[in-house]
Amino acid sequence: MEQPVFVPYHNRHDPGCSPEQAARAFGEVLAKRRSVRQFSDRPVSRETIQWLVRAACSAPSGANKQPWRFVCVSDPVLKAQIRLGAEAEETEFYRSRAGGGWLRDLAPLGTDENKEYLEIAPWLIVVFKLNQSDEGGKVYYAEESVGIATGMLLAAAQHAGLATLTHTPSPMRFLGEILGRPAHERPWMLIPVGFPSADCKVPEHALQRRPLAHSLIFDPEPPS
């Protein structure tokens, strides 16, 4: 059994202000995030994308197995293929797979099968979940790990002033095929990254957030 080795934790991030001030400032940045479907073609550097993925890869993961791959696409030919694949699945989704209830829930967002933004956004980050390690070993809590890493990627993009969309065309198999990924990598999410277009609009519905009390409970009374 490999013996654990401990090293001092000497580079803790110091915000230089109180936790209240730092938490508030970051919370206010994140609260301005919106899912964007109208992107500008303004370029975003490869270096920026690398830093976003670095932020994602700093996430905790089950037994530190890091069961993720972030495939970053800027090539117009690949983006066109991805748009074609996504629109084919989404056409089926809106025509029949979704069903009435789901379509009613989506109505306030104004989405449809047209995914022009997949060709306009300068980058598409395709997140893959590894269901085993590259060496064939086990991974743990992969769903949670990839979810946390992706959340951190979204936060990092927001912090950088960039817009994102968590797009989940379903099924997503076509992404693995177009990008030539091996079978142990399962496409998990498709995230366009870029700047919003000058005339970008977001649905009013998306601005509504439930009151904090819906989501936050302090010290619940133990059941008597």
Q: Is 109 a residue that touches ligand IYR (CB under 6 A)? A: yes
- Give the full edge-to-edge strand order of the sheet including 163-164: 68-73, 123-130, 185-194, 163-164
Residue type, 188: W
Give 84 or 106: the residue with its C-beta nearer to ligand IYR: 106
For tokens 């870029």, the residue is 194
Q: Is 168 a residue that touches ligand IYR (CB under 6 A)? A: yes
Tell me how far apart the alpha carbons of residues 196 and 37 are, in angstroms, rounded to a whole number.
Answer: 8
Q: Is 202 a residue that touches ligand IYR (CB under 6 A)? A: no
121: which 2 tokens? 């956004």
Of the residues 68, 167, 172, 194, which one makes contact with ligand IYR according to CB under 6 A: 167
Q: Is 169 a residue that touches ligand IYR (CB under 6 A)? A: yes
Give 93 or 123: the residue with its C-beta nearer to ligand IYR: 93
The alpha carbon torsion through 61, 46, 81, 40 (nearest 10 deg) reads: 110
Of the residues 111, 131, 147, 184, which one makes contact with ligand IYR according to CB under 6 A: 111
Stretch that binds ligand IYR, among 25-33, 60-68, 163-171, 174-182 (CB under 6 A): 163-171
Q: Which residues of the chain form beta strands (DSSP E)?
A: 68-73, 123-130, 163-164, 185-194
Number of residues that bind ligand IYR (CB under 6 A): 8
Asked if residue 190 lies in contact with residue 168, where contact means CB atoms within 8 angstroms, the answer is: yes
Q: Is 121 a residue that touches ligand IYR (CB under 6 A)? A: no
Q: Is 185 a residue that touches ligand IYR (CB under 6 A)? A: no
Tell me how far apart the alpha carbons of residues 132 and 130 are, in angstroms, rounded to a whole number.
Answer: 5
Give the x/- contact pattern for ligand IYR in 76-95, rule: CB under 6 A.
Answer: --------------x--x--
Q: Is 192 a residue that touches ligand IYR (CB under 6 A)? A: no
Which residue minimizes CB distance to ligand IYR? 111
Tell me how far apart the alpha carbons of residues 118 and 182 are, in angstroms, rounded to a whole number.
Answer: 23
The contact set with ligand IYR (CB under 6 A) reads 90, 93, 106, 109, 111, 167-169
